[in-house]
C-alpha cells in the first residue's frame, strides 16, 4: 500500500517539479537508503533481480534506492539525471504470474538505464512485455499484486498502470496522484495494443466506446479494502487547493496526513485509509519510508569547483531531497539530501546491516510512542522545531553555489541533531514500563511485531 504524487512546474510555487512518495509495507520490513554508483559490465552480462536473471546493460547510472532491505529492487528512487519513479501495488482481474520481475525490480532497472521519464516509460513497458510481472512481495506474509508507476524528470511526468501484461499510460499535465488502485479511465496517451479487445473478450465491456481501463480491469473488492480511494482523494484535494503554490512543505503535510477518525486516538489504532498509514489490523501495512524531492530545472545549472572557488570548471543540476529514512512520517524528521560525493546519509549496497540499524533507531521511537512510553505531542514539538530550523537553514543558503563539503556539512549537522533528539527521548523511555492504550487486538498485534523486530 502506497501513495505517490507529482506537481509539475506549472503548479508549484517555484516552478520546479515536486515529487513525493510514502512507501507502505509490513511494519518490520526495514526500508533502507542505498546508493549505487555508475558501473560498467561486459557485453552479455546478466543481473540477478529478486527472483530471476535478466540481461544487464553495458553501463548503469548512479542511483539512490529507497527499498525493502530484502528486495533487489526499490519502492522508489532517483538517479543522477533527476529521474524519479515511485511504484504502487494495484489489484486487478488479471491472474498473478509465477516468479518473474516484480514492480520494484522494474523500477530499479529503469532508474539504472534511463535519463528521462519517457525513456523510463518505454523501458518499463518493454520489461513488462519481455519478462512479465510476478512474485511474492510480502516480507512476513505472502503478498502479490500488479503494479503502477509514477515517473517524473525535471520537466515532465508519466503515469503507467498495469494489469498482468496489459497496460495504459497517461502524460501528466499539471498534478497527479496514484495510490493502490487503477486511476486511468477512458483517457490515456498510450496503451497495450489489445487492451480494449481483451476486455471485450472477457465481457468486461461491450465496445470501444464502453471501455474504461479502471472499471474494466480493477478487482473492485480488494481495491476498496485497500483504502486507496480515501487516500488518493485526500492527496488530490490538497494538490488542487494549492495548485500554483505547491511547495515542499505542502507535499510533506500530505505525506503526514491522517483521517479525522484516526486523529481522535492517534497511535492507538490502525488506519489503512490514512496517507500516513498505521498498522494494527488485518492488512498490517504502515508507512516505512518517505521522501520529497524538488527537482532542479533543466536550465538551472550551477557552476562550482571542488575547492570551493566558483570557477567555470564543472557544472551540475542540484535536486534537493527531503528523506525520512524511517517509518511513520508523522513522527520522523525530513532531512535534506543531495546526491554528491562525500555524503554519508545513504549506505552502500553491501552495507545493508548498517542501513537496517539506522532505520531501526528511529523505529524505536515509533514503538515507544505506541506503547505510551514517549509522549507523542512532546516529541513532535521538539521534532518540528528542529525540522523548521533545518529547512530555514537550507532556504537561506545559496545551494547552487555551495561546494560538496558545504552541502555535506548540512547533512552531517542534520544527522547529528536527529541522533540527539532520538537519544533524548529514548533515554526517558527506558525509565518507564510499557502501557499500551489501544484495543486488545491492537496491543496483541504490536507485541507480536515488537518481538519479531528484535529477532531480525
* 262 in Cβ contact with 278 (< 8 Å): yes
Enclosing H/E stretch for 55: strand 53-55
The DSSP bridge partners found for residue 88 are 148
**Predicted local confidence at residue 270, as pLDDT:** 93
Condensed to tens digits (0 to 9), the pLDDT of residues 190-206 reads 999 999 999 999 999 99
Select from 359, 357, 369, 293 the least CA-distant residue to 330.
Answer: 369
Which pLDDT does position 104 carry in this prediction?
Answer: 98
Q: Each residue of 189-210: b (16+ CB within 10 Å) or e?
A: eebbeebbebbbeeebbeeeee
The C-alpha cell that represents 103 in the structure block: 514492480
Catalytic-labelled residue, pool 2, 234, 276, 330: 2
d(CA 254, CA 320): 18
- Across the chain, mean pLDDT equals 93
Name the E strands within 196-304. Answer: 286-294, 302-304
120 close to 110: Cβ distance less than 8 angstroms? yes
pLDDT, position 186:
97
First to last CA, the chain: 22
Task: Read off the pLDDT of each residue in 248-255 and give the average, rounded to a whole number.
Answer: 98
Predicted confidence (pLDDT) per residue in 385-397, tens digit: 999 999 999 999 8
Which cell numbers in the block locate residue 286? 504502515
pTM, entire model? 0.94
pLDDT score for 315: 52
Which structural domains are found in the chain, ordered by start? 2-429 (3.60.60.10)
Share of the chain above pLDDT 90, in %: 85
pLDDT at position 430? 72
pLDDT at 304: 39
Verify whether residue 30 is a known catalytic residue.
Answer: no
Q: What is the 3-state secondary structure (H, E, C) of 30-76?
A: CEEEEEECCEECCCCCEEECCCCEEECCCEECCEEEEEECCCCCCCE
Cα distance between residue 214 and residue 182, in whole Å: 5
pLDDT in tens, 280-318: 877 679 999 999 999 987 555 444 334 443 333 345 678
pLDDT value of residue 310: 39
Residue 455 has pLDDT above 80, yes or no: no
Tens-digit pLDDT profile for residues 369-423: 999 899 999 999 999 999 999 999 999 988 888 899 999 999 999 999 999 999 9
Short-list 12, 2, 1, CA closest to 249? 12
Short-list 64, 95, 455, 66, CA closest to 287: 66
pLDDT at 299: 52
Mean pLDDT score, 428-436 = 70
Q: Which tens digit of pLDDT belongs to each residue from 80-130?
A: 999 999 999 999 999 998 899 999 999 999 999 999 999 999 999 999 999
Amino acid at each position: 500500500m502506497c501513495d505517490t504524487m507529482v506537481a509539475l512546474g506549472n503548479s508549484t510555487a517555484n516552478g520546479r517539479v515536486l515529487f513525493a512518495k510514502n512507501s507502505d509495507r509490513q511494519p518490520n520490513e526495514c526500508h533502507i537508503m542505498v546508493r549505487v554508483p555508475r558501473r560498467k559490465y561486459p557485453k552479455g552480462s546478466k543481473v540477478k533481480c529478486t527472483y530471476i536473471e535478466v540481461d544487464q546493460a553495458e553501463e548503469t547510472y548512479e542511483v539512490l534506492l529507497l527499498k525493502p532491505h530484502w528486495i533487489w529492487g526499490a519502492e522508489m528512487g532517483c538517479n543522477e539525471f533527476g529521474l524519479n519513479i515511485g511504484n504502487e501495488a494495484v489489484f486487478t482481474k488479471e491472474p498473478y504470474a509465477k516468479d518473474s520481475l516484480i514492480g520494484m525490480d522494474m523500477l530499479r532497472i529503469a532508474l539504472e538505464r534511463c535519463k528521462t521519464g519517457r525513456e523510463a516509460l518505454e523501458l518499463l513497458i518493454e520489461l513488462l512485455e519481455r519478462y512479465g510481472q510476478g512474485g511474492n512481495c510480502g516480507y512476513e506474509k505472502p503478498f502479490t499484486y500488479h503494479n503502477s508507476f509514477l515517473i517524473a524528470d525535471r520537466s515532465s511526468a508519466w503515469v503507467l498502470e498495469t494489469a498482468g501484461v496489459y497496460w495504459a499510460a497517461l502524460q501528466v499535465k499539471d498534478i497527479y496522484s496514484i495510490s493502490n488502485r487503477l486511476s486511468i479511465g477512458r483517457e490515456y496517451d498510450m496503451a497495450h495494443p489489445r487492451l480494449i479487445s481483451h476486455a471485450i473478450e472477457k465481457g468486461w465491456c461491450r465496445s470501444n466506446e464502453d471501455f474504461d481501463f479502471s472499471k474494466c480491469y480493477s478487482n473492485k473488492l480488494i481495491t476498496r479494502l485497500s483504502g486507496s480511494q480515501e487516500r488518493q482523494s485526500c492527496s488530490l484535494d490538497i494538490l488542487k487547493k494549492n495548485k500554483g503554490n505547491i511547495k515542499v512543505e505542502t507535499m510533506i503535510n500530505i505525506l503526514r496526513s491522517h483521517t479525522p477518525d484516526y486523529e481522535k486516538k492517534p497511535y492507538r489504532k490502525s488506519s489503512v485509509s490514512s496517507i500516513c498509514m498505521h498498522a494494527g489490523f488485518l492488512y498490517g501495512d504502515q508507512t516505512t519510508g518517505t521522501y520529497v524531492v524538488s527537482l532542479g530545472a533543466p536550465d538551472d545549472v550551477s557552476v562550482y569547483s571542488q575547492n570551493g572557488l566558483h570557477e567555470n570548471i564543472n557544472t551540475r543540476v542540484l535536486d534537493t531531497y527531503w528523506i525520512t529514512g524511517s517509518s511513520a512520517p508523522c513522527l520522523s524528521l525530513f532531512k535534506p539530501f543531495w546526491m554528491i560525493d562525500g555524503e554519508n546519509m545513504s549506505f552502500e549496497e553491501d552495507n545493508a546491516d548498517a542501513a537496517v540499524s539506522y532505520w531501526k533507531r528511529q523505529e524505536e521511537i515509533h514503538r515507544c510512542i505506541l506503547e505510551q512510553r514517549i509522549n507523542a505531542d512532546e516529541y513532535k514539538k521538539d521534532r518540528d522545531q528542529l525540522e523548521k530550523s533545518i529547512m530555514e537553514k537550507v532556504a537561506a543558503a545559496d545551494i547552487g553555489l555551495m561546494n560538496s563539503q558545504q552541502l555535506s556539512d548540512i547533512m552531517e549537522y542534520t544527522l547529528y541533531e536527529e541522533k540527539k533528539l532520538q537519544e533524548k527521548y529514548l533515554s526517558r523511555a527506558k525509565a518507564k514500563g510499557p502501557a499500551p492504550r489501544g484495543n486488545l487486538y491492537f496491543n496483541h498485534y504490536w507485541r507480536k511485531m515488537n518481538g519479531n523486530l528484535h529477532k531480525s
